[in-house]
Chain A
Amino acid sequence: MTKPLKIVVLAKQVPDTRNVGKDAMTAEGTVNRAALPAIFNPEDLHALESALRLKDSNPGTEVELLTMGPGRAADIIREGLFRGADGGVLLTDRKFAGADTLATSYALACAIRKMKPDIIIAGRQAIDGDTAQVGPQVAEKLGLPQITYAEEVLSCENGEITVLRRLEHGVETVRGKLPLVLTVNASAPSCRPRNAKCLMKYKHAKTVSEMQAQDADYIEFHQLRTYLNIPEWGVSDISGEEEQFGLKGSPTKVKKIENVVFQVKESKKLGDVDSDIESLIKELIASHTIG
């Protein structure tokens, strides 16, 4: 038997580190991070899709996003609403700044306790850090079991979820009782595109901070439509110990950051003409590199 679920999807806004183009390179050969676009972390989109599929198969299910970041991370909530989520919370406070994975997980766990979901779904990892730590750490903080590397939710009924996991050397089917935390791999189904109706409905969704810049007419229009309000939670909205948030709550410290500078090595440039390639191949054969 299926029943309506409450699902929280953890999503992060990240700089797009995958394709660092020439525009994002400085003259010194390092990356100018400000020049990278901010995107919805790719695996978190797979997490959102997994949640939306559970909503499809369990009518009445509510999917809410939770993201932590600066004010502009409200874009992540809006993107989720456009694709079919029912709501979302932006966790934002200067006291969260400088958080490593542990302090991030602590803040997220405090917010999740307030949201009381049956399932928490997150992408396996974010492309700016690639740590894959936040999912398991949130689970531990909440005292919940975790199922990592989910590729497909096979069933979710009678308070139990059955999941196919993709491991480095194979697959594994596991079953656990709700509530629990699920992290989703990139091999899971891709997220559905924006839905035109949702886009129309939520294009004016805004946080309180974003509303401050608006005029009186817009504020009135907004106040009549409470679904357009994206809640913003700070430290005072979630119960937690302040020393566990942000930089203070982060056991890991960055000792040193080195920008990677591409070292120029003496490289022979060849064209795609037959003679260049022929002499290279002959050289490789002569040096027993190939052949």
Chain B
Amino acid sequence: MNNIFVYCETEKGKIADVSLELLTKGRELAKRLNCKLEALVIGNQLSGIERELYSYGADIVHLAEDERLAPYRTLPHTSIVVGLFREEKPQIALFGASSLGRDLAPRVSSALKSGLTADCTSLEIGDHRDTKGNEYKDLLLQIRPAFGGNIIATIINPDHRPQMATVREGVMRKEMLAEAKTGELKILDVDRYVGDEDFAVSIIERHLEERKIDIKGAPIIVSGGYGVGSRENFDLLFELASVLGGEVGASRAAVDAGYADHARQVGQTGVTVRPKLYIACGISGQVQHTAGMQESAMIISINSDPNAPINQIADYSIVGDLSTVIPKIIKSYKANSK
């Protein structure tokens, strides 16, 4: 009772990276709170999946299998999560901030009347004393940028359980246990939680696209912001990335303006990256963006504005126009590399 639960999402029988990252974080929190880590998996044909979850630290795995439960649909998954949480009363429940998790977690939090913090960038355990002098021990401190990334807020749920949070993929580390361990498997009776009305929305068709663009694993990222000016101007960034053997990233402003695809978005609402070289082109450097790239080993900024905030975290800032500077870099690189 009062353990930490991680909702583990699957696609085609494989557990999502974000869920394994949450288990890694969850076991650290469980150790701190001296409680157990429990995983909940809902889908179809998942036998044997518990072994991978044990290897990431789950002490107990709850498994709900039914052919109607995959692919994911909001209502049946909500009914199972809500039903199980009412019985098990977790103190903390974590979800991936994926399109699935951001569809499911708010619905669960509303049904349980417990608070939910979206897109946390850090989760810690700490105490709290409110203005009336009430003391709370060992709360989940849910830390997230807010207000377009211009403030960092620490959110708590003092009086409601579970304390719920979502975290984006790539924000937390994913690490298997050093030593293999086993756990306890609990098979859920799906019909006990789910009714016919939960299948009100039907899936007619699905097209999954393999993730073609993988900026997360790229050693070099050439990223463009609103200052790039147009989708066409991004071609220059693609050229530089191709010459250096890197990928093209983009800020949220550039993606919102339609200059680049969402899969390339770096930042709090995109991907978190840690390349060895990050070249920020025409990016002003709002926290929403820098939160997703500031751990890059080296940052070069190219911006016509010498006072752009990005220059303050850049190792080198080149003040100038992209259309002048990028061709010069390409030329110089070609001349000097073997």
Asked whether A18 lies within 8 Å of B244 as measured between CB atoms, the reply is: no
CA distance A290 to B297 in the complex (A): 12
Interface flag for B47 (CB, 8 Å): no
Given contacts A250-B115, A282-B336, contact A276 B318 (CB under 8 A): yes
Residues of the B chain whose Cβ atoms lie less than 8 Å from the Cβ of A146: 74, 103, 107
Counting CB contacts under 8 A, is B217 at the interface? Answer: no
Is B152 in the interface zone, CB < 8 Å from A?
yes
- For A, the interface residue count at a CB cutoff of 8 angstroms equals 81
A128 pairs with B147, CB closer than 8 A: yes
Confirm or deny: A211 has a beta carbon within 8 angstroms of a beta carbon on chain B. Answer: no
Residues of B within 8 A of A280 (CB): 300, 316, 318
CB of A137 within 8 A of CB of B99, answer: no
A175 touches which of B102, B204, B245, B286 (Cβ 8 Å): B204
Contacting pair A31 B151 (CB below 8 A): yes
When distances are taken between beta carbons in the complex, the residues of chain B under 8 Å from A30 are: 150
* Chain B residue with the shortest CB-CB distance to A100: B115
Asked if B178 is at the interface (CB within 8 A of a chain A CB), the reply is no
Answer yes or no: B83 CB below 8 A from chain A CBs: no
Docked pose: A140 CA to B110 CA in angstroms: 6
- Contacts A100-B115, A272-B319, A272-B324 known; A170 to B150 CB distance under 8 Å? no
Report if B125 contacts A (CB, 8 A): no
Query: Is A129 close to B, CB under 8 A?
Result: yes
Contact B226 A19 (CB under 8 A): yes
Provide the bound-state CA to CA distance between A9 and B220, in Å.
43
Q: Give the residue among B104, B114, B115, B253 with the most A Cβ atoms within 10 A.
A: B115
Q: Which of B99, B145, B206, B338 has the most CB of A within 10 A?
A: B99
**Min CB gap B158→A, angstroms:** 6
A-B contact pairs, 11 of them (CB 8 A): A18-B148, A20-B150, A127-B148, A129-B118, A136-B103, A170-B208, A251-B113, A255-B141, A257-B152, A276-B318, A277-B325
Residues of B bordering A, CB below 8 Å: 11, 71, 74-75, 78, 98-100, 102-107, 109-111, 113-119, 128, 130, 141, 145-160, 200-211, 220, 226, 244-245, 252-253, 256, 262, 268-269, 276-277, 284-288, 297-298, 300-301, 306-307, 309, 311-321, 324-325, 328-329, 332-333, 336-338
